[in-house]
């Protein structure tokens, strides 16, 4: 069985009063992962992406997170990760 690869850009916003983080993607509607720190977000994202894709009828075989932009911004959400996914054809 061959695989098709694609990427999902993921943004992270910081809720300033609580310092909680929220990761979401315009490329994958419905994706929302919250966490107390970057490590928690990074740990939760692969499972959340996999479960959401499966629920949409597109099972995937692998999710690899790639940090994209390490610079901090207090004003806008910047892409923070790219999820490279492998889907069964």
Of 12-16, 40-44, 72-76, 84-88, highest mean pLDDT: 40-44
Confidence grade of residue 1 (pLDDT, cut at 50, 70, 90) = very low
Mean pLDDT of 1-28: 82
Query: Domain segments of the chain: what residues?
Result: 3-88
65-83 in b/e form (b: 16+ CB < 10 A) is beeeeeeeeeeeeeebbbb
Q: Nearest CA to 80 among 65, 64, 69?
A: 69
Q: Report pLDDT digits (tens) over 32-73.
A: 999 999 889 999 999 999 999 999 998 888 888 877 765 554
Cβ atoms within 10 A of the Cβ of 36, count? 11
């Amino acid at each position: 069985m061959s695989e098709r690869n694609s990427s999902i850009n993921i943004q992270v916003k910081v809720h300033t009063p609580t310092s909680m983080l929220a990761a979401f993607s315009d490329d994958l509607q419905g994706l929302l992962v919250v966490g107390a720190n970057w490590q928690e977000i990074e740990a939760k994202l692969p499972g959340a992406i996999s479960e959401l894709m499966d629920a949409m009828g597109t099972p995937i075989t692998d999710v690899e997170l790639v940090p994209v932009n390490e610079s901090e911004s207090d004003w806008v959400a910047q892409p923070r990760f790219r999820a490279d996914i492998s889907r069964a054809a």
